[in-house]
Structure 1
Amino acid sequence: MSDDGVLDPWVARWLQENPQGFALRDGLPFARQPMTIPVTREVGPVADEVAAGVPVRIYQPLEAPTGLLVYAHGGAHCVGSVALMDNVARELTHATGAVVVSVDYRLAPENPFPAGLDDTEAVTRWALANSTRFGVPPSRVAVSGESAGGSLAAGVTLRLRDDPAARLAGQVLIYPAVDDGTTPLPSRTEFAGLTMPEGEMDWIWEAYTGGRDLRGDPFAAPLHADSLAGLPPALVVLGGCDFLRDEGRLYAEKLRADGVEVDDVLHPGQIHGFLNYGHPAAAAAYDGIGTWVRALFARVEAPAA
């Protein structure tokens, strides 16, 4: 019997000391208040810009860049920002050695689907067109995201799949939200209460969709795409006690079944957001992401000058 879903003792103590369950539906203004996040990792130059009409924060590594990674933050499609997820972007920059372009996409419910996806796609296309500014060929551009941002990253790969001028090197999906709530998934029932109040997932989906019936829409819920064939190589990072664990597993399995190169890594006993929170297990997760992304970019040959 696997113990992947047995809560890590350190995490169990952390949950006791830091009770979860804040309902976004009851406190969006509070959750969106500007927050000062201490710098967790020194990297190269960091600058706020506007790319394709979308605010972004660009992180450059201390070394010559290995490639360029477009990053969509998490936050249930309703909260989060480049400032709030500064720690994740910095760790990704450090681990991968890539330039990281963090997307400050529009949030629901004021801007429901597909606003956030449109913004992430626009920045990804901008990154492909402007990568040489950072000394990176467009063949070494990948997308990434965690939770809601993982859904956006996966959705972008589907949107760009048939565009020969927008080929992505890979995708890094960190506990991605890829289902629409219609698939029976034990992890949603077993672990949701660890980090959110009852009914929160239903409210999030309602906010993201703007009350429309988008069940089965592959761009809103990539797990329901008819086929994932032709998508770029994927790394799927999961937590053993994350309510999104099972849909992430299913997505990795579907990618593999459709002929996509995929590595899925599960970190036992970890809850949703363990990278964002900087839990001890996050270090190994970032190391694994860095190793995978560096190897991905290293094998992509830059076009001849």
Structure 2
Amino acid sequence: MPVDPQIQALLDAGRHLPRTETLSPEAARAQYEARIAAMAPPAEVARVEEREIAGPSGAPLRLRIYTPRGQGPFPLLVFFHGSGFVLCSLDTHDGICRNLCTGAGCVVASVDYRLAPEHPFPAAPEDCLAATRWCAGHAAELGADPARLVVGGDSAGGNLAAVVALRLRDEGGPRPIGQLLLYPVTDWHTPGWPSYAENAEGYGLTRATMEWFWGHYLADPARDSAHPHAAPIKAATLAGLPPALVTTAEYDPLRDEGEAYAAKLAAAGVTVACTRWLGLNHGFYFWAGKVDRCTTATAEAAGWLREVFAGRAPAWSVVHR
């Protein structure tokens, strides 16, 4: 279907901005932080607090904990923000985390992992793994139930959630009961899937930007671009992983690799629900409350979480909505 008119208006409003790949990481970060003001007011939660834990590098690792209204212990979502392993922050994804906290009735622990290029691969997955284990081990302090743990994230954060699920399976747990993969990065950009060519320009995220992200993230692409902890679709097997929701956008270079990852999960016997959101582009969860279909998509993600937390993981093949 055509680009959603509300999304098109947002794209048109941003045409004057410099392209991400023409900027330094510092300038690109400032540009992404500035768009917070354009987002819709997020859902209200009962409490937000910040914690510092010991990170795997020896430096502190910051978490932002969102608690819903009601009586705990609540289910727990450990969330990793996106934007190419280089950009964004707890603040840029504050709205997404609040919306999921309220919509799913769960504690959300948002992880401020180290960013590239200052901290290239594997710093980000190391931080995310450590944070997940800390949250599981300290769930009672967070008002959460460690037996109802889901890992999740958007874009590069979806990559990190998939990698954390793989590593928890292979490296002694704990075992999450679900993985929320919102338009995830699952593969290296070259040669790239057909959607990389179809949506290379004009829809926000471009092929050139993805190459810029990967160029900053991997210090040694020849060595690391096929490593399953960088490109989880390269894992030898996906058997034994927790149920997944994989969402994609029609106008997104990452669409096909996300759907291919969902298909590989299903072929390995994993319970998978996969939705392609027609008319939308990469990053659409930012616009819940401002773009009608993005609000609907956020409600679907929250509904999937509620089902998984209740022990009823839903499954559907690639559904176009």
After TM superposition, the score normalised by the length of structure 2 is: 0.86
Of 274, 280, 289 in structure 2, the residue corresponding to residue 264 of structure 1 is 274
Task: Tell me the matched-pair count.
Answer: 296
Query: Matches of 1:25 and 1:105 in 2, distance apart?
Result: 24
Quick check: 1:64–1:97 contact (8 Å CA) kept in 2? no
> Matched residue of 2:282: which SS?
coil
Matched to 1:161, the amino acid is R
Note the 1:117-128 alignment, pairs <5 A.
Answer: 117-128=125-136
Comparing both structures, which one devotes a greater share of its residues to strand?
2
Match of 1:151 in 2: 159
Matched to 1:158, the amino acid is L
Distance 1:263 1:196, change over 3 A: closer
Query: Matches of 2:53 and 2:120 in 1, distance apart?
Result: 21
Query: Matches of 2:204 and 2:91 in 1, distance apart?
Result: 22
Q: Does 1:11 align with 2:7?
A: yes
Query: Matches of 1:9 and 1:136 in 2, distance apart?
Result: 40
Match of 1:298 in 2: 310
Which moved further from structure 2: 63-72 or 82-91?
Answer: 63-72
Query: Matches of 1:105 and 1:157 in 2, distance apart?
Result: 16
Distance 1:131 1:198, change over 3 A: closer
Match of 1:116 in 2: 124
Q: Does 1:63 align with 2:70?
A: yes
TM-superposed CA distance for 1:32, in Å, is: 2.7
TM-superposed CA distance for 1:137, in Å, is: 2.5
> Matched residue of 1:118: which SS?
helix
Q: Does 1:75 align with 2:71?
A: no
Distance 1:88 1:265, change over 3 A: same
Q: Which runs of 5+ in 1 are unaligned?
A: 301-305
> Matched residue of 2:147: which SS?
helix
Q: What's the RMSD between the two structures over aligned residues? A: 2.0
Note the 1:1-305 alignment, pairs <5 A.
Answer: 3=1, 6-19=2-15, 22-33=19-30, 37=36, 40-53=42-55, 54-65=61-72, 66-193=74-201, 194-196=203-205, 199-213=208-222, 214-278=224-288, 279-299=291-311
Quick check: 1:182–1:215 contact (8 Å CA) kept in 2? no
> Matched residue of 1:141: which SS?
strand
TM-superposed CA distance for 1:37, in Å, is: 4.4
Query: Matches of 2:18 and 2:82 in 1, distance apart?
Result: 17
Q: Which runs of 5+ in 2 are unaligned?
A: 56-60, 313-321
Tell me: higher relative CO, structure 1 or 2? Use CA pairs within 8 A at least 6 residues apart. 1
> Matched residue of 1:236: which SS?
strand
TM-superposed CA distance for 1:253, in Å, is: 0.3
Query: Matches of 2:256 and 2:207 in 1, distance apart?
Result: 19
